[in-house]
């Protein structure tokens, strides 16, 4: 498929999606979100892919949903055309996704980064939910995922004032997993993605699913779910291989089965 708003590459076992609307600081229009989903559909189906990466430019991961596209929309259009369904699909992917964030991750850009499983951020990254400055509120998870990630006090501060948060504050608050120098962002992200892609895919998918359960259910339910999933992995050859490799002091050779 020929994409116009993203670049798509396969590097080893990692599928890399680069948001590519530099003239608009990677503002997320409908076409771009559609193309991200199409690329992710391909990576999800491809058994050779073990991890995905979403990134932007050095100046902007994404400066938000495309304001010029949204500007003239009415309530019925916004409500009835289910504009959010394609956004939601990004957050429902089974394979792990790392967001490699440099520059601005604002509004829908911050929300897109939060739909990924974790964020590796360059030292120039800035996060925020400035929708309040436009007379609206976050619409793709900002009031929910941000609150889960950084707690009520900071989520209220960011969403109500619209201020931006630098990368150090974002890491302290728990939004960002790691900060790396801008020049090393992709190398460090690819190291993490390669490491994930080298694991047994069933165990990776189940670890992701179990962690995400923590946001949906009570602790007791989550612990029960984790125990069942843990037990089920003993039905895989990869569990035999992983534990044999440990006792034989060699690297495991996982076959995803
Ligand atoms: C459309 C955008 C845009 C956006 C930037 N641009 N952000 N276009 N939608 N979200 C465009 C500008 O209009 C400009 O185009 C070009 O990108 C460069 O931007 P500048 O503003 O000139 O750059 P700079 O001065 O460096 O300022 C950077 C910035 C600022 C601070 C990031 O661009 C900004 O505040 N952007 C909007 C951030 C925002 O409010 N995001 C939330 C959007 S609402 P021209 O043609 O003039 O050169 C949202 C809701 C999500 O995300 C709901 C989910 C569906």
Q: What's the CATH number where 73 sits?
A: 3.90.226.10
Annotation marks residue 226 as catalytic: no
pLDDT at 82: 82
Query: Residue 48 contacts by C-beta under 8 Å, 6 or more apart in sequence?
Result: 10, 13
**What is the rounded distance in angstroms from the CA atom of residue 49 to the CA atom of residue 13?**
5
Annotation marks residue 65 as catalytic: yes
Whose Cα sits closest to atom 14 in ligand 1?
24
Burial 139-175 (b: 16+ CB within 10 A, else e): bbbbbebbbebbeeebbeebbeebebbebebbbebeb
pLDDT at 104: 98
Mark whether 125 and 243 lie in a shared domain. Answer: no
Catalytic residue among 15, 50, 103, 108: 108
Catalytic residue among 60, 65, 105, 155: 65
Instruction: Please indicate, yes or no, whether the overall pTM of this predicted structure exceeds 0.90.
Output: yes
Mark whether 117 and 208 lie in a shared domain. Answer: no
pLDDT at 79: 87
Q: Residue written as tokens 């080893």?
A: 12
Mark whether 106 and 14 lie in a shared domain. Answer: yes
Its ipTM equals 0.98
**What is the rounded distance in angstroms from the CA atom of residue 122 to the CA atom of residue 189?**
10
Each residue's pLDDT, cut to its tens digit, for the chain (257 residues) gives 799 999 999 999 999 999 999 999 999 999 999 999 999 999 999 999 999 999 999 999 999 999 999 999 999 988 888 888 999 999 999 999 999 999 999 999 999 999 999 999 999 999 999 999 999 999 999 999 999 999 999 999 999 999 999 999 999 999 999 999 999 999 999 999 999 999 999 999 999 999 999 999 999 999 999 999 999 999 999 999 999 999 999 999 999 99
* Domain assignment of residue 166, yes or no: yes
Residue 27 Cα, ligand 1 centroid: separation in angstroms?
7
Residue 1 Cα, ligand 1 centroid: separation in angstroms?
28
* Domain assignment of residue 256, yes or no: no
List the domain range (segments joined by +) for residue 84: 6-197
Mark whether 46 and 97 lie in a shared domain. Answer: yes
For the segment 75-94, what is each residue's pLDDT rounded down to a tens digit?
A: 998 888 888 899 999 999 99
**What is the rounded distance in angstroms from the CA atom of residue 143 to the CA atom of residue 140?**
8
Mark whether 190 and 212 lie in a shared domain. Answer: no
Mark whether 161 and 244 lie in a shared domain. Answer: no
pLDDT at 117: 98
Mark whether 84 and 125 lie in a shared domain. Answer: yes
Mark whether 102 and 223 lie in a shared domain. Answer: no
* Domain assignment of residue 253, yes or no: no
Radius of gyration in angstroms for the set of CA atoms belonging to the chain, rounded to a whole number: 19
Mark whether 65 and 148 lie in a shared domain. Answer: yes
pLDDT at 84: 86
Q: Residue written as tokens 């931006």?
A: 164
pLDDT at 81: 83
Annotation marks residue 111 as catalytic: yes
Domain count across the chain: 2
Q: Residue written as tokens 């390669």?
A: 194
Q: Is the CB of 175 under 6 A from ligand 1?
A: no
Burial class (CB in 10 A: 0-12, 13-18, 19+), 72: exposed
Mark whether 175 and 204 lie in a shared domain. Answer: no
* Domain assignment of residue 187, yes or no: yes
Q: Is the CB of 50 under 6 A from ligand 1?
A: no
* Domain assignment of residue 257, yes or no: no
Mark whether 63 and 130 lie in a shared domain. Answer: yes
Q: Is the CB of 61 under 6 A from ligand 1?
A: no
């Amino acid at each position: 498929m020929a994409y116009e708003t993203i670049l798509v590459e396969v590097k080893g076992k990692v599928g890399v999606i680069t948001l590519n609307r530099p003239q608009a600081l990677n503002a997320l229009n409908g076409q771009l979100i559609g193309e991200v989903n199409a690329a992710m559909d391909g990576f999800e189906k491809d058994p050779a892919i073990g991890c995905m990466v979403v990134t932007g430019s050095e100046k902007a991961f994404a400066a938000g949903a495309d304001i010029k596209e949204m500007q003239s929309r009415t309530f019925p259009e916004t409500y009835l055309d289910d504009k959010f369904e394609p956004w939601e699909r990004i957050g429902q992917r089974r394979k792990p996704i790392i967001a490699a964030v440099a520059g601005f991750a604002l509004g829908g850009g911050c929300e897109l980064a939060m739909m990924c499983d974790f964020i590796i951020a360059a030292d120039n990254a800035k996060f925020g939910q400035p929708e309040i400055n436009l007379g609206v509120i976050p619409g793709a998870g900002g009031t929910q995922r941000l609150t889960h990630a950084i707690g009520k006090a900071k989520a209220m501060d960011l969403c109500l004032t619209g201020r931006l948060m630098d990368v150090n504050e974002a890491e302290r608050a728990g939004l960002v997993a790691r900060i790396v120098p801008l020049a090393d962002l992709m190398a460090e992200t690819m190291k993490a993605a390669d490491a994930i892609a080298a694991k047994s895919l069933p165990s990776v998918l189940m670890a992701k699913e179990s962690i995400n359960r923590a946001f949906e259910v009570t602790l007791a339910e989550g612990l029960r779910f984790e125990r069942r999933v843990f037990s089920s992995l003993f039905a895989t050859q990869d569990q035999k291989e992983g534990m044999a490799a440990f006792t034989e002091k060699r690297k495991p050779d996982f076959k995803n089965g």
